[in-house]
A = this chain, B = another copy of it.
């Protein structure tokens, strides 16, 4: 495997066809034109484009971040070349219907497509992906007129999109945004306010930039209930929908980030000259609800990206560890013996196996999530559909937070495998690590994900999501027919019982003032729940690998399957048991953190 391998050749086929049975989706009307062959053709295109046009400038873009001269944002040409190839391939519209000019591909396959691009170059990939996310919102909630005006050119990438939510003073607290939108006689609005951390908020890659802006219509309810959503283009459209004059959206400045440097991160000012035109999406005051309804997809995207940046760092350090020789291993440890490849040192092997477990675990977890969206979208039984939706809601904080916690951990281990080289900018490990540090922060910090899980998702609809998830797990475990995987199920079972005890305990606690301790202990809840979920995801992989191992005489495939089983063992033996600490903390309502007085720091 070469240093520029984006994904192991067997990985996506294994995840898509063996673990998830993505082929089954083709039985549904929506995907009936598709087959394994068309999926593979799409993946093949993605792999080639990512390798040839995205990978080569990943490091160059990091060293040459976008510049703003007061008028225009400039960046290295490679970004536009890659972006244009991506949009010309039709990938931005990949999940949309044939009549919309799309490929009508399942989410499962689109996520697999994104794997290559996130592994190759997350910064350049952000531009089309943000556009796809904006389309997702507009397509669901905007009226026909607004859709017709903007969507077609967003689907082709002639227009790009952003999400303009955060404001400087409010941060994660969207209830406190101050941007206003005043209604005009013609039905449009005039916006006024400032936004910050708007990725892709300015650049010259497209003919127009379509900002989705959260703002308050004066006189509306306070807090989260008074927030509306607007389409605010960089250039207004003429009456024939051709690109018209500049709208009153100004770039206040570019932010200089630790990583992800190829993506512009902007501070934007709306309505400095009181002439910022915006168009309401859906109903007034429903803005935040719309955004949250599209949140599951966006959060899976962040989690999956974190897994992929971690995965690329894993492959990069694996390649180094196989090539680099240093020291000796008994019995060949005499000075005259040849030095050994560092992969043969136990502690290096441990760091590689941990990286594999974290990143392939995160990848498989998020593909499961994407596939769940497809299952929901193709489900004809309404009750079952609601059940699955509930499970997706429950899993979403895990899908976002777990890979964005463990992907960076993998990148940290990747640096350590390279040692001194890993600390220099002559190697790539440090960039992967810096890029991935964004993921625990954006799209809802991991602290917010832990609160969402602990205070809302677990209890939502009387715990329906958890019951559905449990059935899903039990059904998987019932199918485990192989020896090693059965042992892993045995090892996991006590933790499932513990989770139930913790939840029973918390059900009582939540009614008392001790519930407050959970604001500081939510991360413990996240640790327990996500470790169990990822263990299950690993058992799904190991069990399938064991079955396939028995059926193949291909040496390379055998090796690959054995690696899957070993990584599953690693996860369940080395990572899962750490939650014993978290179980204890929750069962005892540990109050050490909340008891810490501000003045004691």
Which A residues contact B (CB, under 8 angstroms)? 166, 170-173, 175-176, 196-197, 222-224, 255-259, 265, 318, 322, 324, 326-328, 334-336, 339, 341, 343-353, 356, 415-416, 419-420, 422-426, 430, 433-434, 437-438, 440-442, 445-447, 450-451, 516-523, 559-560, 562-563, 566, 569-570, 573-574, 577-578, 580-581, 584-585, 590, 592-601
Cross-chain contact A447 with B175 (CB below 8 angstroms)? no
Cross-chain contact A594 with B349 (CB below 8 angstroms)? yes
Cross-chain contact B560 with A600 (CB below 8 angstroms)? yes
Cross-chain contact B420 with A346 (CB below 8 angstroms)? no
The complex places the Cα of A448 from the Cα of B445 at a distance, in Å, of 35
| Min distance, Cβ A562 to any Cβ of chain B, angstroms | 5
The verdict on A171 contacting B580 (CB below 8 Å), with A352-B601, A420-B197, A420-B441 known, is no
Cross-chain contact A559 with B599 (CB below 8 angstroms)? yes
Q: Give the contacting residue for A346; candidates B257, B353, B593; CB below 8 A.
A: B593
Q: Across the interface, which residues of B come within 8 angstroms of A584, CB to CB?
A: 577
In the complex, residue of chain B having the shortest beta-carbon distance to the beta carbon of A438: B423
The complex places the Cα of A446 from the Cα of B412 at a distance, in Å, of 13
Cross-chain contact A345 with B422 (CB below 8 angstroms)? no
Q: Give the contacting residue for A170; candidates B222, B259, B326, B441; CB below 8 A.
A: B326
| Min distance, Cβ A469 to any Cβ of chain B, angstroms | 24
| Min distance, Cβ A433 to any Cβ of chain B, angstroms | 8
The complex places the Cα of A441 from the Cα of B173 at a distance, in Å, of 39
| Min distance, Cβ A583 to any Cβ of chain B, angstroms | 10
The verdict on A347 contacting B451 (CB below 8 Å), with A339-B176, A566-B596, A597-B559 known, is yes
Cross-chain contact B327 with A222 (CB below 8 angstroms)? no
Enumerate 10 A-B pairs (CB-CB under 8 Å) in ascending A order. A172-B327, A173-B326, A258-B434, A352-B601, A419-B441, A434-B434, A569-B592, A577-B584, A578-B578, A580-B581
Cross-chain contact A425 with B592 (CB below 8 angstroms)? no
The complex places the Cα of A347 from the Cα of B322 at a distance, in Å, of 41
In the complex, residue of chain B having the shortest beta-carbon distance to the beta carbon of A325: B169
Q: Give the contacting residue for A566; candidates B223, B255, B341, B592; CB below 8 A.
A: B592
Cross-chain contact B573 with A590 (CB below 8 angstroms)? yes
Which of A420, A519, A562, A590 lies at the interface centre, i.e. has the most chain B CB atoms within 10 A of its CB? Answer: A420
Count copies of this chain in the complex. Answer: 2
Q: Across the interface, which residues of B come within 8 angstroms of A424, CB to CB?
A: 255-258, 265
In the complex, residue of chain B having the shortest beta-carbon distance to the beta carbon of A569: B592
Q: Across the interface, which residues of B come within 8 angstroms of A569, CB to CB?
A: 592
Q: Across the interface, which residues of B come within 8 angstroms of A345, CB to CB?
A: 447, 519
Q: Across the interface, which residues of B come within 8 angstroms of A595, CB to CB?
A: 566
Cross-chain contact A522 with B173 (CB below 8 angstroms)? no
Cross-chain contact A581 with B577 (CB below 8 angstroms)? yes
Q: Across the interface, which residues of B come within 8 angstroms of A447, CB to CB?
A: 345, 347-348, 351, 416
Cross-chain contact B423 with A257 (CB below 8 angstroms)? yes
The complex places the Cα of A175 from the Cα of B325 at a distance, in Å, of 13
Q: Across the interface, which residues of B come within 8 angstroms of A324, CB to CB?
A: 171
Q: Across the interface, which residues of B come within 8 angstroms of A598, CB to CB?
A: 322, 341, 343-344
Q: Give the contacting residue for A349; candidates B223, B344, B593; CB below 8 A.
A: B593
Q: Give the contacting residue for A350; candidates B258, B322, B343, B593; CB below 8 A.
A: B593
Cross-chain contact A573 with B585 (CB below 8 angstroms)? yes
Cross-chain contact B600 with A559 (CB below 8 angstroms)? yes
Cross-chain contact A446 with B326 (CB below 8 angstroms)? no
The complex places the Cα of A220 from the Cα of B516 at a distance, in Å, of 69
Q: Across the interface, which residues of B come within 8 angstroms of A423, CB to CB?
A: 257-259, 437-438, 441
